[in-house]
A and B are shown apart, each in its own frame.
Chain A
Amino acid sequence: MRRANVISGVILVLFGLLMLAVVIPAQIEPGPDGMMSPRLVPGMMMGVVVALSLLLVVNNIRAKGREPAEDATPPISGAELLALAKIGVIFAAAILLYLLVSPLAAGAVIVVGGLLALGERRPLVLIAMPAALLTAIWFLFYKVLGTGIV
């Protein structure tokens, strides 16, 4: 965790500095005279993030060698990162289908893609589950709640 803290701290410092130096000045007008600048609170928050992230980095560098054994394991496993990437791919496909085909196809691909990504291979489940879920959602919105998903 100590190494992860140092890396995340450095990333947050860079993010904060980028916001303070580039994004906030470019994306927020200074505001009218005599009023508190609209940049003040975002700038203050980024200042706090930069200062605390620096503290996080320094503290963890200083704590080198004093880390408990169980903290030495990386906080994120490869399987978890892979799962996040798979979910990203499923949603990318779903959004593409939503834009090009229909919301129904997007919904189906989220369920089928999720099942396939998690190792489900039984054809009956791959067909029945999206059908059942989408029918249930249709019934809930169109029949029970009396509205549509548009």
Chain B
Amino acid sequence: MSALLIGFQDVLNPATLFWVAVGVTLGYVLGALPGLGKATGVAVCIPLTFYLGPVAALGMLIGIAKGSAAGSAVSAILLNTPGEPSSAPTALDGYPLARQGKAQKALKMGLYASVIGDFVSTLILIGLAAPLARYALLIGPVEICTILLFSLTFIGALSGKSMIKGLIAGALGVFFATVGLEAETFVSRMTFGLLELEDGIALVPMAIGMLAVAEMAVQAGNVRKLDSEGARITDGATRADRVVLAAEWRRCLPVIARGTLIGSVVGILPGLGASVGSFLSYGATRKASKTPEKYGTGMIEGVAAAESADNAVVPSSLIPLFALGIPGSVIAAILIAAFILHGLTPGPLMFQQQPRLVADVYAAMLCASVILLIVGYTGQRLFAQVIKAPLRLIIPGVLLLCTVGAYMETSSVFSIYVMLFFTVIGFFARKLDFSFVTFLIGFVIGPNLELSFRQTLQLLDHKAMNLTNHPIAVVFILLTVAVVWWIGRGKKPAAPEDQAAHYLGQSKPKGRI
């Protein structure tokens, strides 16, 4: 607690709060614009933080992630087009509410639920990460190798519709991570004589290419269709249509509490992601309701359930990253680059080596939640206008920002080549359903996986039977096999868009899910 107070001392100054607010605002706008999610926003903005102090930089990036998760509800409610897939269940009831002239009410409830889910989940992160990290320090390379393997398999198996494609994407991610100087023997690997590749492929240009430019290419191909969907915020005649009433608060608070819990648990488990959290929460709320048939027609509880879980996933998905050094989501994978850049290596040791910076990050996260409420509330109408901007004006601006972001990583045009190379890979991965999330996570954990694999071979003396001395590792190997077997037999959660169609019993929310 005292460390957290010191963290607040460091964060509560105008300069740091300004950058956190910039991050939240930027994230809110990016989240509201369909297709530009939190991962894209953070990847593009990492180079902008090179020149900021560590606390302001990390606060800004976390602000983007939080703002984006909340902002995606705006387009879900006003356009029936979720800014991110995880807001698809928000559209199920939010859009009908907007059609009934209650857009402001839905937007406000979405914002309140987002902030509460996000704030409570941040507290859970603060409470859980350090104790878990203490246990993580007790495990050795053999266990780490099997945990990483399990995480990658789990994420690969759950991402996209095909487990085989997910695993291929993960393997390719690890493969690309091996480019550059090998850590033990200092042998160059697949550099093709290019000095720029000796240090390996840079994550930021790769992530910008795969996430942002590839998405822009896909959207540019559908620009006419997407631009035809107009946003409108219709004000109701009465105050009751514009504000959240006390009776609605009473109905929604238990829903928000349940959504926050579901989102937090889902966030801790690697690979499940915000979409699973929001759909599980929406489904649980609908099931617990006395009038489930009314869901999909404009129930305010539906918005509260989806948004609280969606936003709770973001902070809790940092728990495996902070406690074990394992990114459980694409945003965590990208944030690793930012954390390392600013002197904080995610993993169990950071609580011992950088306690003050960790406390600063926690304080910045809590401040970002409060700023999210202020920015979201005051800027609601403005953000509703932003999403009316035609894509043909947005895409060129995003392409320019991507280029600057990739270039700033190394101040070399080579970064642009890397970005373009992975744009092509990201484009085809998107269209052919090879999970780029798994690819990126495989790329990020690749070096750690290889290092722990080397150490494992030496510790086990190249004899598989010696694994019996490492029961935790055996458990994770069995879990990996079980996941492959279970999901390979088709026992896999439905994709978000399929779940949306299931809940509505009709067509899925249109557009850019």
Contact = CB atoms under 8 A, between A and B. Distances in A.
B431 A129 contact: no
Interface in B169-215: 171-172, 174-175, 178, 182, 184-185, 187-192, 213
A46 B175 contact: yes
Interface stretch (B305-313, B349-357, B419-427): B419-427
A69 to B, nearest CB: 15
- Across chains A and B, which 7 residue pairs bring their CB atoms closest together, nearest first? A114-B396, A80-B221, A83-B220, A118-B392, A83-B221, A45-B175, A38-B182
A139 to B, nearest CB: 13
A147 B395 contact: no
Contacts of A91: 403, 416, 420
B407 A149 contact: yes
B431 A35 contact: no
17 contacts: A5-B162, A8-B432, A27-B192, A31-B187, A36-B184, A52-B167, A56-B164, A56-B168, A59-B164, A80-B218, A84-B217, A87-B216, A91-B416, A115-B396, A118-B220, A145-B52, A147-B50
B168 A150 contact: no
Interface in B199-256: 213, 216-218, 220-223
Nearest to B225: A79
B385 to A, nearest CB: 17
A24 interface: yes
A129 B172 CA distance: 39
Nearest to A48: B171
A78 to B, nearest CB: 8
Contacts of A4: 432
B187 A29 contact: yes
A119 B454 CA distance: 54
Interface in B397-444: 397, 399-401, 403-404, 407-408, 411, 413, 416, 420, 423-424, 427-428, 431-434
Contacts of A45: 171-172, 174-175, 178
Contacts of B453: 41
Contacts of A32: 185
Nearest to A56: B164
B222 A107 contact: no
A145 B48 contact: yes
A117 B403 contact: no
Contact of A110 (B175, B187, B400): B400
Interface string A69-108: 0000001110111111011101100110011000000110
B400 A35 contact: no
Contact of A115 (B185, B218, B393): B393
A147 B48 CA distance: 10
A23 interface: yes
Contacts of B396: 110-115, 118, 129
Given A49-B175, A110-B396, 16 more contacts: A27-B189, A36-B454, A48-B167, A52-B167, A56-B164, A80-B217, A84-B217, A90-B399, A95-B413, A106-B403, A107-B400, A107-B403, A118-B392, A118-B395, A137-B400, A147-B50
Secondary structure at chain B's binding surface: helix, strand, loop or mixed?
helix
Nearest to B52: A145
Given A41-B453, A133-B397, A146-B51, A87 B220 contact: yes
B411 A83 contact: no
A24 B221 contact: no
Interface in A18-35: 19, 23-24, 27-29, 31-32, 35
Nearest to A37: B185
A27 B190 contact: yes
Given A115-B392, A118-B395, A52 B171 contact: yes
A140 B19 CA distance: 13
A94 B399 CA distance: 11
Nearest to A134: B400
Nearest to B392: A118
A75 B220 CA distance: 16
A44 to B, nearest CB: 9
A150 B411 contact: yes
Given A27-B192, A49-B172, A99 B413 contact: yes
B165 A56 contact: yes
Interface string A39-62: 001100110110011011001000
B120 interface: no
B413 A84 contact: no
Given A115-B396, A118-B392, A79 B178 contact: no
B457 interface: yes
Given A42-B175, A115-B393, A12 B168 contact: yes
Nearest to A82: B221
Contacts of B217: 80, 83-84, 87
A38 B185 contact: yes
B133 interface: no
